[in-house]
Amino acid sequence: MRAIVWARANLFNGIWNSILTLVVVVLIARGLWEVVQWGVIDAVWSAPDGRACRALSNDAGACWAFIGQWNRFILFGRYPYDAQWRPLLVVILFMVLVLASCDRRMWRAGLLAGMWIFGLAACFILMGGGVFGLAKVPTDLWNGLPLTLFLAVIGLAGAFPLAILLALGRRSQLPTIRALCVGYIELIRGVPLITVLFMASVMLPLFLPAGVTINNLVRAQAGLILFYAAYLAEVVRGGLQAIPTGQYEAADALGLGYWRKTSLIVLPQALAISIPPLVNTFIAAFKDTTLVTIVGLFDLLATAGNAITDPEWRGFYVEAYVFVAAIYFVFCFFMSRYSRNLERRLAR
Amino acid sequence: MNLSRTLTAALLAMAIVMPAWAGPTLDKVKKDGVVTCGVTTGLAGFSMADRQGKYTGIDVDTCRAIAAAVLGSADKVRFVPATAQQRFTLLQSGEIDVLTRNTTWTLTREGDLGFLFAPPNYFDGQGFMVAKKAGVKSAKELDGATVCVQPGTTTELNLADYFRTNKMTFKPLVIEKLDEVENAFFAGRCDAYSTDRSGLASSRAGKAPNPDDYVILPEVISKEPLAPAVRQGDDEWFDIVKWTIFAMIDAEEKGVTSKNLDDMKKSDDPEIQRMLGVVPGMGKSLHIGEDWGYNIVKQVGNYGEVFDRNVGPASPLKLDRGINALWNKGGLMYAMPIR
What is the crossing angle of helices B58-71 and B292-299, to 10°? 140
Query: Are the beta carbons of B53 and A81 closer than 8 angstroms?
Result: yes
What stretches of chain B show up as alpha helix (H) in DSSP? 2-17, 25-32, 58-71, 87-92, 107-111, 155-165, 178-186, 197-207, 235-253, 261-264, 270-275, 282-286, 292-299, 303-310
Chain B residues with CB under 8 Å of A296 CB are 41, 80-83, 86, 90
pTM of the predicted model as reported, rounded to 2 decimal places: 0.81
Which of B21, B93, B95, B97 is best to mutate for the A interface (most A CBs within 10 A)? B93
- 3-class SS of residue B183: helix
Chain B residues with CB under 8 Å of A211 CB are 21, 23, 28, 94
Q: Report CB contact under 8 Å: B49, A309.
A: no
The total number of residues shown for chain B amounts to 339
Compare all CA atoms of chain A with the CA of B316 and give the residue at the minimum distance: A311
- Torsion region of B42: left, alpha or beta (phi above 0 gives left; psi -120 to 50 gives alpha): left
Residue A211 touches chain B, beta carbons under 8 Å: yes
Compare all CA atoms of chain A with the CA of B95 and give the residue at the minimum distance: A213
- 3-class SS of residue B36: strand
With vertex at residue A152, the alpha carbon angle to CA A151 and CA A158, rounded to the nearest 5 degrees, is 85
Q: Within its chain, how far is the Cα of A240 from the centroid?
A: 25
What pLDDT, on a 0 to 100 scale, did the predictor assign at position B17? Answer: 39
CA distance linking residue A67 with residue A102, whole number of Å: 32
Residue B60 touches chain A, beta carbons under 8 Å: no
Q: Between A211, A305, A312, which is nearest B42 by CB?
A: A305
Query: Are the beta carbons of B308 and B315 closer than 8 angstroms?
Result: yes
3-state secondary structure chain A: CHHHHHHHHHCCCCHHHHHHHHHHHHHHHHHHHHHHHHHHHCCECCCCCHHHHHHHHCCCCCECHHHHHHHHHHHHCCCCHHHCHHHHHHHHHHHHHHHHHHCHHHCCHHHHHHHHHHHHHHHHHHHHCCCCCCCCCCHHHCCHHHHHHHHHHHHHHHHHHHHHHHHHHHCCCCHHHHHHHHHHHHHHHCCCHHHHHHHHHHHHHHHCCCCCCCCHHHHHHHHHHHHHHHHHHHHHHHHHHCCCHHHHHHHHHCCCCHHHHHHHHHHHHHHHHCHHHHHHHHHHHHHHHHHHHHHCCCEHHHHHHHHCCCHHHCCCHHHHHHHHHHHHHHHHHHHHHHHHHHHHHHHC
Which of B83, B87, B310 is best to mutate for the A interface (most A CBs within 10 A)? B83
What pLDDT, on a 0 to 100 scale, did the predictor assign at position B254? Answer: 93
Compare all CA atoms of chain A with the CA of B204 and give the residue at the minimum distance: A311
- The alpha-carbon radius of gyration of chain B (Å, integer) is 22
Residue B19 main-chain phi, psi, to 5 deg = -75, 165
Residue B16 touches chain A, beta carbons under 8 Å: no
Query: Are the beta carbons of B248 and B302 closer than 8 angstroms?
Result: yes
Four-residue CA torsion sign, B238, A201, A95, A74: negative
Q: Is A282 exposed, middle or buried (0-12, 13-18, 19+ CB in 10 A)?
A: buried
- 3-class SS of residue B100: coil
Residue A211's CB is within 10 A of a number of other CB atoms, namely 10
Residue B138 touches chain A, beta carbons under 8 Å: no
What pLDDT, on a 0 to 100 scale, did the predictor assign at position B283? Answer: 92
Instruction: Please tell me the distance in Å from A306's CA to the nearest CA on chain B.
Output: 5
- The alpha-carbon radius of gyration of chain A (Å, integer) is 25
Instruction: Give B61-75 pLDDT, tens digit per residue.
Output: 999 999 999 999 999
Nearest to B115 by CA among B91, B146, B141, B139: B91
Fold match flag (B20-123+225-329 vs B126-222): yes
Mean pLDDT (whole number) for B185-189: 90
Q: Report CB contact under 8 Å: A211, B21.
A: yes
Query: Rounded to whole angstroms, what are the CA distances from A292 to A148, A196, A233, A282, A302?
Result: 9, 11, 22, 17, 9
Q: Domain extents for chain B?
A: 20-123+225-329, 126-222
CA distance linking residue B17 with residue B9, whole number of Å: 12
What pLDDT, on a 0 to 100 scale, did the predictor assign at position A214? Answer: 76
CATH homologous superfamily, domain B126-222: Periplasmic binding protein-like II (3.40.190.10)
Query: Are the beta carbons of B51 and B62 closer than 8 angstroms?
Result: no
Chain B residues with CB under 8 Å of A51 CB are 209
Compare all CA atoms of chain B with the CA of A81 and give the residue at the minimum distance: B52
What pLDDT, on a 0 to 100 scale, did the predictor assign at position B318? Answer: 86
Tens-level pLDDT at each residue, chain A (348 residues): 778 888 888 888 888 888 998 999 999 999 999 889 888 888 788 888 877 887 787 778 888 888 888 888 888 888 888 888 888 998 898 888 888 887 777 777 788 888 888 888 888 888 888 788 788 888 888 888 999 988 988 898 889 889 999 999 998 888 999 999 999 999 998 999 888 888 887 778 777 776 677 788 888 898 899 999 999 999 999 998 888 888 888 888 888 888 888 888 888 888 888 888 888 888 888 888 888 887 778 888 888 888 888 878 877 888 889 999 999 999 899 888 888 888 888 776
Instruction: Give A203-234 pLDDT, tens digit per residue.
Output: 787 777 766 777 888 888 988 999 999 999 99
What pLDDT, on a 0 to 100 scale, did the predictor assign at position B13? Answer: 42
Nearest to A75 by CA among A336, A306, A289: A306
CA distance linking residue A116 with residue B88, whole number of Å: 38
Compare all CA atoms of chain A with the CA of B208 and give the residue at the minimum distance: A51
Indicate the pLDDT class of residue B14, thresholds 50, 70 and 90.
Answer: very low
CATH homologous superfamily, domain B20-123+225-329: Periplasmic binding protein-like II (3.40.190.10)
Residue B128 main-chain phi, psi, to 5 deg = -125, 145
- Torsion region of B25: left, alpha or beta (phi above 0 gives left; psi -120 to 50 gives alpha): alpha
CA distance linking residue B62 with residue B101, whole number of Å: 10
Q: Domain extents for chain A?
A: 1-41, 80-136
pLDDT at B122 over 90: yes
Query: Are the beta carbons of A188 and A255 closer than 8 angstroms?
Result: no
Residue B205 touches chain A, beta carbons under 8 Å: yes
- 3-class SS of residue B155: helix
Q: Between A54, A206, A311, which is nearest B93 by CB?
A: A206
